Amino acid sequence: MIQRGSLERSEQLALDVEGLTVTYGHEPALWNADVRLDRGSLAAVVGPNGAGKSTLLKAALGVVPRVSGRVRVLGEDPARRRRLVAYVPQRSSVDWDFPTTVLDVVIMGTYGQLGWFRRPGRKERALAMGALEQMELADLAGRQISELSGGQQQRAFLARALVQDAEVYFMDEPFAGVDAVTEQSIASLMGHLAQRGKTILSVHHDLATVPRYFEHAVLLNRVVQAVGTVKEVFHRGNLDRLYGGRVPADVPELAST
Protein backbone atom coordinates (compact mmCIF):
# COMPACT_ATOMS: atom_id res chain seq x y z
CA MET A 1 0.00 0.00 0.00
CA ILE A 2 2.78 2.39 0.95
CA GLN A 3 4.46 1.55 -2.32
CA ARG A 4 1.36 2.41 -4.31
CA GLY A 5 0.83 5.64 -2.44
CA SER A 6 4.31 6.86 -3.15
CA LEU A 7 3.84 5.86 -6.74
CA GLU A 8 1.23 8.56 -7.31
CA ARG A 9 3.71 11.36 -7.18
CA SER A 10 6.64 9.35 -8.48
CA GLU A 11 8.10 10.01 -11.86
CA GLN A 12 6.65 8.96 -15.17
CA LEU A 13 9.44 6.53 -15.94
CA ALA A 14 8.55 2.86 -15.56
CA LEU A 15 12.05 1.73 -16.44
CA ASP A 16 15.21 3.78 -16.34
CA VAL A 17 18.40 1.97 -17.31
CA GLU A 18 21.58 4.02 -17.45
CA GLY A 19 25.01 2.90 -18.63
CA LEU A 20 24.24 -0.72 -17.77
CA THR A 21 26.95 -3.30 -18.39
CA VAL A 22 26.44 -6.98 -17.58
CA THR A 23 28.96 -9.73 -18.27
CA TYR A 24 28.82 -13.52 -18.09
CA GLY A 25 32.35 -14.58 -17.34
CA HIS A 26 34.44 -12.44 -19.67
CA GLU A 27 31.76 -12.08 -22.32
CA PRO A 28 29.82 -8.84 -22.19
CA ALA A 29 26.11 -9.55 -22.51
CA LEU A 30 25.06 -5.91 -22.34
CA TRP A 31 27.33 -2.97 -22.95
CA ASN A 32 26.67 0.53 -21.62
CA ALA A 33 22.94 0.23 -22.22
CA ASP A 34 20.54 3.15 -21.81
CA VAL A 35 16.82 2.40 -21.92
CA ARG A 36 14.03 4.69 -20.76
CA LEU A 37 10.39 3.69 -20.85
CA ASP A 38 7.44 5.85 -19.82
CA ARG A 39 4.67 4.32 -17.81
CA GLY A 40 2.05 2.83 -20.10
CA SER A 41 4.61 1.86 -22.74
CA LEU A 42 4.01 -1.26 -24.79
CA ALA A 43 7.53 -2.10 -25.89
CA ALA A 44 9.22 -4.92 -27.80
CA VAL A 45 12.87 -5.84 -27.27
CA VAL A 46 14.20 -6.88 -30.67
CA GLY A 47 17.61 -8.17 -31.68
CA PRO A 48 19.56 -11.20 -32.90
CA ASN A 49 20.30 -14.30 -30.80
CA GLY A 50 22.72 -13.60 -27.98
CA ALA A 51 21.98 -9.87 -28.10
CA GLY A 52 21.32 -9.71 -24.36
CA LYS A 53 17.53 -9.40 -24.58
CA SER A 54 16.78 -11.77 -21.70
CA THR A 55 19.68 -10.24 -19.80
CA LEU A 56 18.08 -6.81 -20.11
CA LEU A 57 14.88 -8.20 -18.55
CA LYS A 58 16.82 -9.92 -15.76
CA ALA A 59 18.76 -6.76 -15.02
CA ALA A 60 15.47 -4.87 -14.84
CA LEU A 61 14.29 -7.51 -12.36
CA GLY A 62 17.46 -7.03 -10.35
CA VAL A 63 18.47 -10.69 -10.54
CA VAL A 64 21.75 -10.48 -12.47
CA PRO A 65 24.85 -8.82 -11.03
CA ARG A 66 25.77 -5.71 -12.99
CA VAL A 67 29.31 -4.59 -13.65
CA SER A 68 28.36 -0.95 -13.88
CA GLY A 69 25.38 1.27 -14.48
CA ARG A 70 22.09 1.92 -12.77
CA VAL A 71 18.63 0.40 -13.01
CA ARG A 72 15.48 2.08 -11.70
CA VAL A 73 11.99 0.63 -11.84
CA LEU A 74 9.30 3.22 -11.11
CA GLY A 75 12.02 5.42 -9.68
CA GLU A 76 13.45 2.84 -7.27
CA ASP A 77 15.94 0.00 -7.16
CA PRO A 78 14.33 -3.17 -8.66
CA ALA A 79 14.74 -4.99 -5.32
CA ARG A 80 12.34 -2.47 -3.75
CA ARG A 81 9.76 -2.73 -6.53
CA ARG A 82 9.19 -6.47 -6.64
CA ARG A 83 5.53 -6.19 -5.63
CA LEU A 84 4.87 -3.95 -8.61
CA VAL A 85 6.65 -6.09 -11.17
CA ALA A 86 5.52 -9.29 -12.86
CA TYR A 87 7.82 -11.56 -14.81
CA VAL A 88 6.89 -14.07 -17.49
CA PRO A 89 9.95 -16.28 -18.11
CA GLN A 90 10.52 -18.18 -21.31
CA ARG A 91 8.07 -21.04 -21.46
CA SER A 92 10.88 -23.47 -22.25
CA SER A 93 12.78 -22.53 -19.09
CA VAL A 94 10.71 -24.81 -16.85
CA ASP A 95 9.99 -28.53 -16.77
CA TRP A 96 6.31 -28.87 -17.72
CA ASP A 97 6.28 -32.40 -16.36
CA PHE A 98 6.60 -30.98 -12.84
CA PRO A 99 3.89 -32.51 -10.64
CA THR A 100 1.52 -29.60 -10.23
CA THR A 101 -1.78 -28.30 -11.56
CA VAL A 102 -2.59 -25.26 -13.67
CA LEU A 103 -4.31 -23.57 -10.72
CA ASP A 104 -1.23 -24.20 -8.54
CA VAL A 105 1.06 -22.53 -11.05
CA VAL A 106 -1.17 -19.46 -11.20
CA ILE A 107 -1.38 -19.30 -7.39
CA MET A 108 2.42 -18.94 -7.41
CA GLY A 109 1.72 -15.42 -8.63
CA THR A 110 0.42 -14.61 -5.13
CA TYR A 111 3.56 -15.85 -3.34
CA GLY A 112 5.23 -12.44 -3.47
CA GLN A 113 2.33 -10.79 -1.63
CA LEU A 114 2.04 -13.64 0.85
CA GLY A 115 5.61 -13.45 2.03
CA TRP A 116 7.51 -16.13 3.92
CA PHE A 117 5.75 -19.03 5.71
CA ARG A 118 2.20 -17.96 4.88
CA ARG A 119 0.18 -20.40 2.82
CA PRO A 120 -2.15 -19.47 -0.01
CA GLY A 121 -5.79 -19.75 1.07
CA ARG A 122 -9.25 -19.17 -0.29
CA LYS A 123 -8.55 -15.57 -1.31
CA GLU A 124 -5.48 -16.56 -3.33
CA ARG A 125 -7.40 -19.37 -5.04
CA ALA A 126 -10.17 -16.93 -5.99
CA LEU A 127 -7.64 -14.47 -7.44
CA ALA A 128 -6.02 -17.25 -9.43
CA MET A 129 -9.36 -18.49 -10.74
CA GLY A 130 -10.19 -14.95 -11.85
CA ALA A 131 -6.94 -14.73 -13.81
CA LEU A 132 -7.57 -18.15 -15.33
CA GLU A 133 -11.00 -17.01 -16.46
CA GLN A 134 -9.46 -13.94 -18.02
CA MET A 135 -7.07 -16.18 -19.97
CA GLU A 136 -9.92 -18.59 -20.84
CA LEU A 137 -8.27 -21.44 -18.98
CA ALA A 138 -10.73 -21.80 -16.09
CA ASP A 139 -11.97 -25.20 -17.22
CA LEU A 140 -8.39 -26.52 -17.16
CA ALA A 141 -7.66 -25.30 -13.61
CA GLY A 142 -7.37 -28.80 -12.14
CA ARG A 143 -5.31 -30.18 -15.03
CA GLN A 144 -1.78 -31.44 -14.64
CA ILE A 145 0.43 -28.92 -16.45
CA SER A 146 2.04 -31.57 -18.67
CA GLU A 147 -1.33 -32.00 -20.37
CA LEU A 148 -1.39 -28.42 -21.66
CA SER A 149 -0.61 -27.39 -25.23
CA GLY A 150 2.12 -24.82 -25.82
CA GLY A 151 -0.41 -22.02 -26.12
CA GLN A 152 -2.18 -23.09 -22.94
CA GLN A 153 1.14 -23.21 -21.06
CA GLN A 154 1.85 -19.67 -22.17
CA ARG A 155 -1.59 -18.51 -21.11
CA ALA A 156 -1.09 -20.17 -17.70
CA PHE A 157 2.15 -18.18 -17.31
CA LEU A 158 0.35 -14.98 -18.28
CA ALA A 159 -2.44 -15.75 -15.80
CA ARG A 160 0.24 -16.09 -13.11
CA ALA A 161 1.56 -12.65 -14.09
CA LEU A 162 -1.97 -11.18 -13.98
CA VAL A 163 -2.43 -12.47 -10.43
CA GLN A 164 0.60 -10.45 -9.42
CA ASP A 165 -1.47 -7.33 -10.20
CA ALA A 166 1.69 -5.48 -11.20
CA GLU A 167 2.39 -2.11 -12.74
CA VAL A 168 5.26 -3.30 -14.92
CA TYR A 169 5.35 -6.57 -16.88
CA PHE A 170 8.58 -8.10 -18.17
CA MET A 171 7.89 -10.91 -20.64
CA ASP A 172 10.39 -13.20 -22.34
CA GLU A 173 9.10 -14.32 -25.74
CA PRO A 174 5.44 -14.78 -24.81
CA PHE A 175 4.57 -15.48 -28.46
CA ALA A 176 7.09 -18.30 -28.92
CA GLY A 177 5.49 -21.48 -30.25
CA VAL A 178 1.84 -20.55 -29.76
CA ASP A 179 -0.93 -20.90 -32.34
CA ALA A 180 -2.56 -17.98 -34.15
CA VAL A 181 -5.58 -17.84 -31.82
CA THR A 182 -3.41 -17.70 -28.69
CA GLU A 183 -1.19 -15.11 -30.34
CA GLN A 184 -4.24 -12.89 -30.86
CA SER A 185 -5.42 -13.28 -27.26
CA ILE A 186 -1.94 -12.52 -25.87
CA ALA A 187 -1.66 -9.45 -28.07
CA SER A 188 -5.05 -8.14 -26.99
CA LEU A 189 -4.20 -8.80 -23.32
CA MET A 190 -1.04 -6.70 -23.73
CA GLY A 191 -3.07 -3.95 -25.38
CA HIS A 192 -5.60 -3.92 -22.52
CA LEU A 193 -2.87 -3.77 -19.91
CA ALA A 194 -1.16 -0.87 -21.66
CA GLN A 195 -4.48 0.97 -21.96
CA ARG A 196 -4.86 0.70 -18.20
CA GLY A 197 -1.51 2.43 -17.80
CA LYS A 198 0.55 -0.71 -17.21
CA THR A 199 3.99 -0.94 -18.75
CA ILE A 200 5.06 -3.92 -20.83
CA LEU A 201 8.53 -4.80 -22.00
CA SER A 202 8.54 -7.99 -24.02
CA VAL A 203 11.28 -9.85 -25.87
CA HIS A 204 9.95 -10.49 -29.34
CA HIS A 205 11.31 -12.42 -32.32
CA ASP A 206 8.81 -12.06 -35.11
CA LEU A 207 9.75 -8.80 -36.84
CA ALA A 208 6.67 -8.87 -39.04
CA THR A 209 4.29 -8.48 -36.08
CA VAL A 210 6.19 -5.80 -34.15
CA PRO A 211 4.27 -2.86 -35.70
CA ARG A 212 0.94 -4.62 -35.12
CA TYR A 213 1.43 -5.61 -31.46
CA PHE A 214 3.74 -2.94 -30.04
CA GLU A 215 3.98 0.81 -29.79
CA HIS A 216 7.61 1.04 -28.77
CA ALA A 217 10.75 -0.86 -29.66
CA VAL A 218 14.15 -1.38 -28.09
CA LEU A 219 16.65 -2.44 -30.74
CA LEU A 220 19.39 -4.33 -28.95
CA ASN A 221 22.57 -6.11 -29.93
CA ARG A 222 24.65 -6.00 -26.75
CA VAL A 223 24.56 -2.25 -27.18
CA VAL A 224 21.27 -0.43 -27.43
CA GLN A 225 20.96 0.70 -31.00
CA ALA A 226 17.72 2.61 -30.71
CA VAL A 227 14.82 3.12 -28.34
CA GLY A 228 11.63 4.87 -29.34
CA THR A 229 8.22 4.45 -30.89
CA VAL A 230 7.91 1.76 -33.51
CA LYS A 231 7.27 4.49 -36.10
CA GLU A 232 10.50 6.27 -35.29
CA VAL A 233 12.99 3.45 -34.86
CA PHE A 234 11.58 0.32 -36.47
CA HIS A 235 12.66 0.88 -40.07
CA ARG A 236 14.74 -1.03 -42.55
CA GLY A 237 17.88 1.03 -42.06
CA ASN A 238 18.02 0.31 -38.32
CA LEU A 239 17.07 -3.33 -38.72
CA ASP A 240 19.68 -3.95 -41.41
CA ARG A 241 22.26 -2.58 -39.04
CA LEU A 242 20.85 -4.63 -36.15
CA TYR A 243 20.86 -7.94 -38.02
CA GLY A 244 23.87 -7.23 -40.23
CA GLY A 245 21.83 -6.83 -43.42
CA ARG A 246 20.14 -10.22 -43.09
CA VAL A 247 16.56 -9.04 -42.60
CA PRO A 248 14.22 -10.92 -44.92
CA ALA A 249 12.86 -8.62 -47.60
CA ASP A 250 9.29 -9.73 -47.04
CA VAL A 251 8.77 -8.25 -43.58
CA PRO A 252 5.53 -6.70 -44.80
CA GLU A 253 4.95 -3.71 -42.60
CA LEU A 254 8.48 -2.44 -43.09
CA ALA A 255 7.90 -1.71 -46.76
CA SER A 256 5.80 1.33 -46.03
CA THR A 257 8.46 3.12 -43.95
Partner 1 sequence: MSAPWVDLDPTLVVVAAGTTAVGAVSGALGCFAYLRRQGLVGDVVSHSALLGVVGAFVLAHAVTGTATRSLAVLVPGALLAGTAALTLARSVSTRTRLNDDASLGVMLSIFFGGGLFLLRWVQRQSPPIPGHTGLEDYIFGMAAAMTRADLWMVFTLGGGALLLLLLLWKELKVFTFDPDFSRSLGLPSRRLDLLMMALLVTGVVIGIQTVGVILMIALLVTPAAAARQWTSRLSNMVLLAAAFGAVAGAGGALISASEARLPTGPVVVLLATAIFGLSLLLAPRRGLLARARARRALEGTAPPAAGGPA
Binding map of partner 1 across residues 195-224, x = CB under 8 A, - = no contact: ------------------------------
Q: Is 61 in the site for partner 1 (CB under 8 A)?
A: yes
Binding mask 150-169 for partner 1 (x = CB under 8 A): ----------x---------
Judged by CB under 8 A, the residue of 67, 79, 181, 208 near partner 1 is: 79
Q: Does 181 bind partner 1 (CB under 8 A)?
A: no
Q: Tell whether residue 120 is a contact of partner 1 (CB under 8 A).
A: yes
Beta partners for residue 224, in sequence order: 220
**Under rule CB under 8 A, residue 105 binds partner 1:** yes
In the complex with partner 1, the residue whose CB is nearer, 77 or 139, is 77
Distance CA 108, CA 17 (A): 28
DSSP 181-249: HHHHHHHHHHHHHHHTT-EEEEE---GGGHHHH-SEEEEEESEEEEEEEHHHH-SHHHHHHHHTS---T
Counting contacts by CB under 8 A, is residue 144 touching partner 1?
Answer: yes
Contact (Cβ atoms closer than 8 angstroms) between residue 111 and residue 128: no
Could you tell me which residues are beta bridge partners of residue 221? Answer: 223
Residue number, 99 or 244, with CB nearest to partner 1: 99
- Do 35 and 17 form a contact (C-beta atoms < 8 A)? yes
| Residues paired with residue 202 on neighbouring β-strands, in sequence order | 44, 171
By CB under 8 A, name the one of 52, 53, 59, 87 that touches partner 1: 87
**Which one, 10 or 146, has the nearer CB to partner 1?**
146
Q: Which stretch binds partner 1 (CB under 8 A): 4-12, 69-77, 80-88, 193-201?
A: 80-88
How far apart (Å, rounded) are the C-alpha atoms in residues 188 and 172? Answer: 17
d(C-alpha 65, C-alpha 96), whole Å: 28
The distance of closest approach from Cβ of residue 85 to partner 1 in the complex, given in angstroms and rounded to an integer, is: 7
Q: Which residues contact 38 (CB under 8 A, 6 or more apart)?
A: 12, 13, 14, 199
Which of 13, 108, 138, 247 is in the footprint of partner 1 by CB under 8 A? 108
User: Is residue 178 at the binding interface for partner 1, with CB under 8 A as the rule?
Assistant: no
Residues 182, 185: Cα–Cα separation, whole Å: 5
Q: Provide the minimum distance between the beta carbon of 118 and partner 1 in the complex, in angstroms, as a whole number.
A: 8
Minimum CB distance to partner 1 smaller for 150 or for 191: 150
* Size of site (CB under 8 A) for partner 1: 29
What is the rounded radius of gyration, in angstroms, for the C-alpha atoms of the chain? Answer: 18
Distance (Å, rounded) from C-alpha 37 to C-alpha 44?
11
Collapsing DSSP to helix, strand or coil, 152 comes out as helix
Which positions touch partner 1 (CB under 8 A)?
58, 61, 63, 79, 82, 85, 87, 89, 93-95, 98-101, 104-105, 108, 111-112, 114, 116-117, 119-120, 144, 146, 160, 170
